[in-house]
Amino acid sequence: MVTANALNEESLRRLPKVALHDHLDGSLRVRTVVELAAEVGYAGLPTTNIEELTEWFHQDKPTNSLETYLQAFGHTIAVLQEPDALRRAIFESVEDLKNDGVVYGEVRFAPELLVRGAMDLVKVFDVAQAAFADASAEFGITVNMIVCALRNHDNSLLVAQEVVKRKGGNIVGFDLAGPERGWPASLHREALALLRDARVPYTLHAGEGDGVSSIEDAIACGASRIGHGVRIADDISVDGVMYTLGPRAEAVRATGILLEVCPTSNLNTQMYPDLSSHPVDILFRAGFAVSINTDNRLMSRTSITAEWSRLAETFGWGSNEFLATTVAGLRAAFCDEVERDRLLAEVVVPGFRG
């Protein structure tokens, strides 16, 4: 087992990781955005200077909210409207995950946002599935797809139908993304029922841009995991190291449902003033199933290694906590049971003990 004293950034990078909440259009390389913009003739970037654009994309401004944070995606989505651009972004995303020590990943994006150029919805699915398969083979890790529909759009049933048609490949799940407040998951009951009947698992964003009720709504809708979910801490009282759970928090913990926690992203959207105020440590200590994720590597200028490093510095997390959250993530992953068991026995546990 890696000792606490050995937890520098490089040792953290070498540890095996599982990435479950990672948006493709939030994880492009800045240079790639500039180069693709030139290739497709997109003139809307605020600057083409790499350093300036890197700073512009970094969403750590005190005036941010979830809504303003989402505006940055307009530029990344604009440069992903052609097949070659989408394929390049997928290859680079998988390579970056590999270089961060990720041994299994699920990358999500919304195909309906990429149909303004040469691709229709079916073509986006075709290109993405082939690219993720090829990139996984090239870089030696399995990275599957979670397909998103937008909760503030009315295309969820169409997207869900395409997902069901492709069940059994590297599309392993579904998600509802986009603004939460005013757009509960229950607005998309028909799409979710179709997926549930077809036994396609889904994770739903909740407890990020809206409160505890959004988490309850997502669970009632049959979510297998919760994207973010940290607002469940609003129903927890803390007295030193004693945690008193309210009835709603107790109900969520009792389900064992995984919370895909993205600490730095939550700071960037001004949910919490600093990491020491973030409830990730409380949720973990109180017995919730927690995994650590990046959300948007570009906008939050982060990686799982960076998230772990910040947690180690702020809360004193060490290899025990990182192993526990990695195992929790892997057990909730949407890959098949054989792959989960193999990764756990042959890769994750030996990687931490080595």
Is-contact 125 111, C-beta < 8 A?
yes
Kindly report, residue by residue over 292-342, the tens digit of the pLDDT: 999 999 999 999 999 999 999 999 999 999 999 999 999 999 999 999 999
Is-contact 351 16, C-beta < 8 A?
yes
Kindly report, residue by residue over 18-35, the tens digit of the pLDDT: 999 999 999 999 999 999
Distance, CA of 249 to CA of 246 (rounded, Å): 5
pLDDT score of 68? 65
Low-confidence ranges of the chain (pLDDT < 50): 1-5
* Boundaries of every domain in the chain: 29-345
pLDDT score of 4? 47
Distance, CA of 314 to CA of 255 (rounded, Å): 28
Assign 3-state DSSP to the chain and report helix, strand, coil percentages, each to 5. 55, 15, 30
Distance, CA of 4 to CA of 134 (rounded, Å): 37
What tokens does 172 get? 């392993």
The fold of the 29-345 domain, in CATH, is TIM Barrel (3.20.20)
Catalytic residue among 82, 208, 260, 321: 208
What tokens does 214 get? 């959004």
Is-contact 188 158, C-beta < 8 A?
no
**pTM, rounded to two decimals:** 0.95
pLDDT score of 3? 47
Distance, CA of 290 to CA of 283 (rounded, Å): 7
95 is catalytic: no
Is-contact 227 260, C-beta < 8 A?
yes
What residue type is assigned to position 238 of the chain? V
pLDDT score of 9? 87
